[in-house]
Amino acid sequence: KREESPLDYSARLKLEASILSAALGCEVTPREIRSRFRRGLLPNVRDDVAQHLGPRMVDYDELVDMAEYYWTRISDGQKRTGKKAQDDDICFGFKRSGFCRRGDNCRFRHDTENTENKDAGKDPAGQVKDKTKTGRCFEFDRTGKCGRENCMFKHITEETSAAVIVDADSVEDGDGCLTLRHDGYLPPDSQPRRQSAVTTELRCGSTSLTESLDVIALLDTGSTVNLVSREFAGKLSAPIENCDNQPSIGLADGLQNVKPLGGSTISIETTHSRVSIWCWVVPTLAFDLVVGTPGLFQLGVRLHFNKDTVEPAVFFDTDALKSSEHPDGGDCTYEYTGKDALLSCGMTLEPEVVTDDIGGTLHTGKWTDPLALEVCTGTDGTSWYELKDFPWTDSTRPAPNLKEAIGRNRSMFNGLSPDEKIALQKEFQTLVDSGRVVKVKKADCSHFIPLRPVIKDVGPTTDGWSAKKVRLTVDGRRINQWVRKGSTDGDSGILANLLIWRCGCHAISLDLSSAFHGIKLGTTCLPYASIYIFDEFWQWTVLAFGWGFSPACLFQSIKPIMDDTRSDTKSFLCWYVDDLKLVSDSREDLVKDEQTLVNNLKAKDFHTQDKKRVSTVDSEGYFGHLGYGWFIPQGDSPDIIMITLPAALETALSDIGQGVPLTRRKLLAIYSSWYDPMGLYLSVSIKARLNMRLANQSGISWDDPLRGEDEERLLEWVANLKSANLRIPRAVAFEELYCYTDA
């Protein structure tokens, strides 16, 4: 319709497609909708779109926005020659709604001056406060609705592709295409026709083949091994050598392993040299050849990234190494350890070490290795601990690692289920809303720290999918090479805490709410606490768990508070990480001392969780406490310590009942699942050790089935556990003291 805009036409077309799908009983594909949309445009609009696109392939949303742009210009009677060039490139989707689905990949200009979000500025802390949506809402993608009132993620109703390889019969419509995800996945029975984001065309051969073959190879700077498919090795007539010490290649998700069939030498030709690389042969690959860090180093490959382009440029240096030179020697551009075999399919580059001049002195105190902690006070009188600077070992600092951050972020999401992605977004928005994570500009980031989600299953929901709970920590293994751990002088440990827990008739257990987040980061820390996620740049403003110094930082913040509280209380006071306890024989003293401790913690911006508070004074039921069960009955009956059967025991019994063979590896895992650090039931632990020693003396390998007698001893051990009364009073009476000594 001439008076109908392309946006309205697209909405009507989708509605008609859904009605047609329901009537015919078959789905109308996005390809058919896209083709119908282009054919139904006004002739002058269709001609302008075809002239602008040429043979290029774009996703459906960009096609609609492009048609809307040309339709608006024609309907308003504007002439192309009468406008400036930069005005012709305005993204109407961004102008209308303030955000664009394509982000940095959009070919039109995002003119922030003409959008409705003119009030976007900075928050009181000085960080960028942007109303622009970021990333896709996984909950909306999964369920069609979102439970967050002010969701910070985009609600997109149509699936779009991040990387598309065009292979179309119709250049005008561009409908024939195959989609390639950046993680290297390729749909079955498909082969790429040209290079994509992390691929390039190589010419390969072998000593047994006179002619070379072309292959699309995946350049994986996160893989420490080179891989070749068995099929392609056969095409090259490359001999497969059996090796005694073949590694088990672990995938980035940490859940799968690939066992190679052997090794083979592949010859690769470049414009400057011919290099032979050693590859492990595996049964199948999405790409016939994966060139990891050893091959990239030998070939002299350099990947150059540019923020204005989607795909990196691949270059081969003229000084490529000879095949005899191994990447273990000399200056290696990429991180490579011959002992590790890891296939990540991520863009992980080796961060270079740069040197900065730093000044100032660290906070001195009573610690062997003090951290730069300082108590700060706000204008409203509130106080908090702030880490002024990371505990660097020397003047060196980690260099920017954006490419690594992009690869780690992609690898993390590839290993998450849809339910886990939804829970991760929910937790991330909680951090953003509370100010613990803030959006920043790229120029504010010096080093990126990967996120490490800790996932817990909380059971099924009414919608039939599994609900997850995610706690976001950081993977500090990279940056921990440049920092000290700090000291925890005076830490009593978990066993001492458990023993003190038994030294009074009454006890209260308190748990800090996001304990590490109670410590803020100073301005000098922020550039090295950067995050890349949802195609945006962020920074932690609080301490996160995962840095090597995080435990010491929390300990050096909590201990002064506990020391000050001890002088004002009569109860025993102890803590382990973020679990605090008060123990006393007097209820009145215990309740009073609890309030004193809570007030002292709040004075330094540490808060306790009411739902995790356990007290013999006013709590009833079964609770968990440092690995033990804690049952508090009604009335004045004494509370008791309980040990429940580990889940590994129940799983093992079920497997044995179904005929699954029992191996030494499984047996060790079963016996090790018994948890009793206080030694309340030493007979159980000793019997488990004796049974395991007998299994080891049999000489059977770790993964071969054990003898029947080992299985019988396990079943007998479990039967004794089930029949035993694994309950003991928590409070220890001190009227009588028994001492045992050796002769």
Kindly state whether residues 633 and 684 are assigned to the same domain.
Answer: no
The residue-averaged pLDDT of 567-587 equals 88
Residue 133 domain-assigned? no
Tally of residues, the chain = 743
Instruction: Tell me the C-alpha distance between 110 and 107, whole Å.
Output: 9
Under a CB-based contact definition with an 8 Å cutoff, are residues 288 and 229 in contact?
yes
pLDDT in tens, 547-563: 999 999 999 999 899 88
Instruction: Tell me the C-alpha distance between 627 and 612, whole Å.
Output: 15
The residue-averaged pLDDT of 298-313 equals 58
Which of these, 142, 93, 217, lies nearest to 420 by C-alpha position?
142
What is the sign of the dihedral through the CA atoms of 671, 676, 681 and 686?
positive
Give phi and psi for 257, each to the nearest 5.
-135, 145
Instruction: Tell me the C-alpha distance between 342 and 222, whole Å.
Output: 8
Which of these, 669, 671, 665, lies nearest to 686 by C-alpha position?
671
Give whole-number Cα distances, 491 to 368, 552, 556, 582, in Å: 13, 10, 10, 16
Instruction: With residue 430 as reference, give the H or E element that holds it.
Output: helix 418-433
Residue 30 domain-assigned? yes
Which of these, 170, 171, 161, lies nearest to 197 by C-alpha position?
161
Query: In the predicted model, is pLDDT for residue 544 greater than 90?
Result: yes
Percent of the chain with pLDDT over 90: 13
pLDDT bracket for residue 414 (50, 70, 90): confident
Q: What is the pLDDT of residue 312?
A: 53
Query: In the predicted model, is pLDDT for residue 105 greater than 70?
Result: no
**Bridge partners, residue 5, by sequence:** none
The residue-averaged pLDDT of 372-380 equals 87
Query: In the predicted model, is pLDDT for residue 116 greater than 60?
Result: no
* Long-range contacts from 108-114, C-beta under 8 angstroms, 24+ separation: 108/65, 108/69, 114/90
Q: What is the pLDDT of residue 54?
A: 65
The residue-averaged pLDDT of 584-605 equals 90
**CB under 8 Å to 27, separation ≥6 — which residues?**
21
pLDDT in tens, 134-144: 777 877 776 66
Higher pLDDT, 708 or 116: 708
Q: What is the pLDDT of residue 225?
A: 80
Query: In the predicted model, is pLDDT for residue 317 greater than 60?
Result: no
Instruction: Tell me the C-alpha distance between 14 and 29, whole Å.
Output: 11
Kindly state whether residues 636 and 675 are assigned to the same domain.
Answer: no
Instruction: Tell me the C-alpha distance between 46 and 71, whole Å.
Output: 9
Host domain of residue 205: 201-281+288-343
Higher pLDDT, 736 or 355: 736
Q: What is the DSSP letter of 633?
A: -
**DSSP 3-state helix, strand, coil percentages of the chain (rounded to 5)?**
30, 20, 45
For 20-48, the DSSP string reads HHHHHTSPPPHHHHHHHHHHHS-HHHHHH
Instruction: Tell me the C-alpha distance between 72 and 83, whole Å.
Output: 14
Predicted structure pTM score: 0.56
Query: In the predicted model, is pLDDT for residue 716 greater than 50?
Result: yes
Considering 83, 100, 128, which residue would you say is the last residue of a domain? 128
Rg (CA), the chain: 31
Give whole-number Cα distances, 168 to 27, 41, 62, in Å: 22, 21, 18
**CB under 8 Å to 644, separation ≥6 — which residues?**
629, 726
Average pLDDT, the chain: 74
Query: In the predicted model, is pLDDT for residue 519 greater than 90?
Result: yes
pLDDT bracket for residue 221 (50, 70, 90): low
Kindly state whether residues 571 and 649 are assigned to the same domain.
Answer: no
- Mark out the alpha helices in 462-514 (DSSP H runs): 493-501
The count of domains in the chain is: 4
pLDDT bracket for residue 366 (50, 70, 90): low
Q: What is the DSSP letter of 606?
A: -
Q: What is the pLDDT of residue 547?
A: 92
Kindly state whether residues 572 and 431 are assigned to the same domain.
Answer: yes
Q: What is the pLDDT of residue 20?
A: 77
- What dihedral angle (degrees, nearest 10) is formed by the CA atoms of 596, 602, 604, 608? 100
SS3 520: strand
The residue-averaged pLDDT of 110-129 equals 48
Q: What number of CA atoms fall less than 13 Å from residue 397's CA on the CB side?
A: 18
Residue 360 domain-assigned? no
Q: What is the pLDDT of residue 118?
A: 39
Instruction: Tell me the C-alpha distance between 676 and 503, whole Å.
Output: 18
Place of tokens 């007097």: 586
Q: Residue 326 maps to which CATH number? A: 2.40.70.10
Considering 68, 97, 128, which residue would you say is the last residue of a domain? 128
Q: What number of CA atoms fall less than 13 Å from residue 716's CA on the CB side?
A: 9
pLDDT in tens, 630-653: 999 888 888 899 887 777 777 777
Residue 99 domain-assigned? yes
pLDDT in tens, 41-72: 888 888 888 777 766 677 788 888 888 877 87
Query: In the predicted model, is pLDDT for residue 347 greater than 60?
Result: no
Residue 153 domain-assigned? no
Instruction: Tell me the C-alpha distance between 385 and 517, whole Å.
Output: 10
Kindly state whether residues 620 and 672 are assigned to the same domain.
Answer: no
- Mark out the alpha helices in 502-633 (DSSP H runs): 550-566, 587-602
Query: In the predicted model, is pLDDT for residue 204 greater than 90?
Result: no
Kindly state whether residues 433 and 518 are assigned to the same domain.
Answer: yes
The residue-averaged pLDDT of 309-314 equals 52
Least confident of 3-17, 241-255, 454-468, 571-585: 241-255
Q: What is the pLDDT of residue 126?
A: 47
In three state form, how does the secondary structure of 123-170 look? CCCCCEECCCCCCECHHHHHHCCCCCCCCCCECCCCCCCCCEEECCCC
Q: Which pair of tokens denotes residue 739?
A: 């001492």
Q: What is the pLDDT of residue 499?
A: 86
Residue 316 domain-assigned? yes
Kindly state whether residues 678 and 585 are assigned to the same domain.
Answer: no
Neighbours of 14 (CB within 10 A): 17
Kindly state whether residues 617 and 649 are assigned to the same domain.
Answer: no
Query: In the predicted model, is pLDDT for residue 540 greater than 90?
Result: yes
Give whole-number Cα distances, 395 to 197, 344, 347, 353, 728, in Å: 36, 31, 28, 10, 55
Give phi and psi for 301, each to the nearest 5.
-80, 140
Q: What is the pLDDT of residue 131?
A: 52
Which of these, 641, 515, 496, lies nearest to 581 by C-alpha position?
496
Instruction: Tell me the C-alpha distance between 543 and 522, whole Å.
Output: 10
Residue 142 domain-assigned? no
Q: What is the pLDDT of residue 313?
A: 57
Kindly state whether residues 338 and 277 are assigned to the same domain.
Answer: yes
Kindly state whether residues 680 and 575 are assigned to the same domain.
Answer: no
Percent of the chain with pLDDT over 70: 71
Least confident of 2-6, 63-67, 449-453, 622-626: 2-6
Give phi and psi for 429, each to the nearest 5.
-65, -35
Q: What is the pLDDT of residue 271?
A: 62
Kindly state whether residues 651 and 636 are assigned to the same domain.
Answer: no
pLDDT bracket for residue 96 (50, 70, 90): low
pLDDT bracket for residue 6 (50, 70, 90): confident
Neighbours of 582 (CB within 10 A): 28
Q: What is the pLDDT of residue 188?
A: 36
Give phi and psi for 64, each to the nearest 5.
-65, -45
The residue-averaged pLDDT of 698-702 equals 85
Instruction: Tell me the C-alpha distance between 553 and 484, whole Å.
Output: 11
**Bridge partners, residue 632, by sequence:** 621
Q: What is the DSSP letter of 527?
A: G
The residue-averaged pLDDT of 23-51 equals 81
The residue-averaged pLDDT of 342-358 equals 32
Residue 161 domain-assigned? no
Instruction: Tell me the C-alpha distance between 190 and 203, whole Å.
Output: 20
Query: In the predicted model, is pLDDT for residue 4 greater than 90?
Result: no
Considering 303, 318, 343, which residue would you say is the last residue of a domain? 343
> Highest mean pLDDT range out of 193-197, 310-314, 317-321, 461-465?
461-465
Under a CB-based contact definition with an 8 Å cutoff, are residues 326 and 339 in contact?
no
Q: What is the pLDDT of residue 100?
A: 66
pLDDT in tens, 160-185: 322 222 222 322 333 322 222 233 33
Kindly state whether residues 629 and 686 are assigned to the same domain.
Answer: no
Q: What is the pLDDT of residue 549?
A: 92
Least confident of 95-99, 417-421, 655-659, 685-689: 95-99
Query: In the predicted model, is pLDDT for residue 525 greater than 90?
Result: yes
What is the sign of the dihedral through the CA atoms of 506, 616, 728 and 625?
negative
Query: In the predicted model, is pLDDT for residue 576 greater than 80?
Result: yes
**CB under 8 Å to 434, separation ≥6 — which residues?**
none
Q: Residue 530 maps to which CATH number? A: 3.30.70.270
